[in-house]
Amino acid sequence: MRVSQGAPGARILAFGGYQPARSVTNDELAQTMDTNDEWIRSRVGIASRRIAAPDESVADMACAAGGKALAGSGLSPSDIDLVIVATCTPETQIPNVAATVARRLGIIAPGAYDLNAACAGFCYALASASDAIRTGSAGHVLVIGAEKLSQWVDWTDRSTAIIFADGAGAAVVGPASEETGPGIGPVVWGSAGDMAERIYVKDRNSFIHQDGQAVFRWATTALHPVAKQACAAAGMDPAELTAFVPHQANLRIIEAIARKLGAPQAKVADDIVTAGNTSSASIPLALSRMIERDEVVSGDTALLIGFGAGICYAAQVVRLP
Amino acid sequence: MAMTDQEILTGLGEIIDEVAGVPAEEVTPEKSFVDDLDIDSLSMVEIAVAAQDKFGVEIPDDQLKDLTTVQDVIEFVRKAEASA
């Protein structure tokens, strides 16, 4: 049997992001539940979040972000032969989101699948895309994280309603060239199924439940070693990083991991302040906005780490396009 | 050798300074975390985690809510050390 020959490395060619138009402030939430702006800011670091329109779907947001990333890459839809959509909040499980997004973007007959690793989804999907290119299963991959968490949130439950939001982020991944070198480092990933009941939706008629204190303890103790391993696997010292883009779960988790990681040169993503927690979308959405604001530049080395329900986590170092 | 209450207090002061930015000299036994030191439940988790590293004593989430003053933590650490 013959086996495929892939590229020696993969890299990210472009990012794209999409946020719904409607911004919901803390004051607006305080009108319908017992909370206030100061409390929300101090506990989770969020000032406002974007919420999708009732008729705006996960696929709509995925298309918007994916289309921008595709345009930024300079490729045409026909160059893409694999579409991966990381999501845990689609309106339905059947059909998947990826094939719909591919059709709407004019990508003809690509491999297309959804991937559920919750808030770690983008990092899992990016690793899968990189591996597909390195093994020859795909030439160029469109990777999207898209979520409509607002449709899985109980809007009277202040422990979750203040946190979760909607949005999408995308990246186009292709083979590394000789002059650029590899741009996606080895993934360090894992899971902790014994903590499954810390973040869950009981059944299709239920909302997200989260044990915030237990998740906070886990995130502030278990993740910085994973982040350091991802740096080591890429042959880098955290001190060399120029950006640190963790899943935008909670500003205090972000700050705690950053402090324990020890990356003094790194610009730390704080997109959560105006985007909220958008699960698998948060990392590519934050990066697309940091690129737009010139907070990071091409060639920067960024450490990404996703973590969330499962519990699942994944981290890798990437070179920014 | 078991730590004295003063040693635990000193260690706790260092932890609270780092986690919550409260100067160590303000951390005295009678202070309430919430009312006097303005420390919330998430900072308490961070303090518990740091205390585990420093004192080798695990403070589970379900017991954390009963520790309302600095003295409560000192006593928890002392008793946990004694039974270790």
| Among A18-27, A285-294, B8-17, B74-83, the least confident range | B74-83
Compare all CA atoms of chain A with the CA of B45 and give the residue at the minimum distance: A217
State the count of interchain CB pairs (< 8 A) between A and B: 22
Residue A139 has pLDDT above 90, yes or no: yes
Percent of chain A whose pLDDT exceeds 70: 100
A220/A184 Cα distance (integer angstroms)? 25
Q: For A87-118, how does the pLDDT look when each residue is reduced to its tens digit (9 = 90+)?
A: 999 999 999 999 999 999 999 999 999 999 99
Of A119, A123, A231, A312, which is the active-site residue?
A119
Q: Are B40 and A216 in contact (CB < 8 Å)?
A: no
Instruction: State the nearest Cα–Cα gap between A42 and chain B, in angstroms.
Output: 9
* Residue A158 touches partner B, C-beta closer than 8 Å: no
Positive or negative, the CA dihedral A38, A42, A43, A47 is positive
Please report the beta strands in chain A, taking only residues with DSSP state E, as ranges in sequence order. Answer: 10-18, 22-25, 48-51, 82-86, 111-115, 141-148, 166-175, 188-191, 199-201, 208-210, 243-246, 267-268, 301-308, 312-319
Instruction: State the nearest Cα–Cα gap between A252 and chain B, in angstroms.
Output: 9
Clarify whether A247 is annotated catalytic: yes
Which residues in chain B have Cβ-Cβ distances shorter than 8 Å to A212?
A: 42
Determine the average pLDDT of the residues in A186-198: 97
Whether the bond between A95 and the residue before it is cis, its omega within 30 degrees of 0, is yes
Q: Are A217 and B45 in contact (CB < 8 Å)?
A: yes
Residue B1 has pLDDT above 70, yes or no: no
Q: For A266-299, how does the pLDDT look when each residue is reduced to its tens digit (9 = 90+)?
A: 999 999 999 999 999 999 999 999 999 999 999 9
- Write the CA distances from A208 to A89, A190, A239, B40, B56, integer angstroms: 10, 22, 37, 24, 34
* Residue A220 touches partner B, C-beta closer than 8 Å: yes
DSSP code at position B69:
B
Residue B2 has pLDDT above 90, yes or no: no
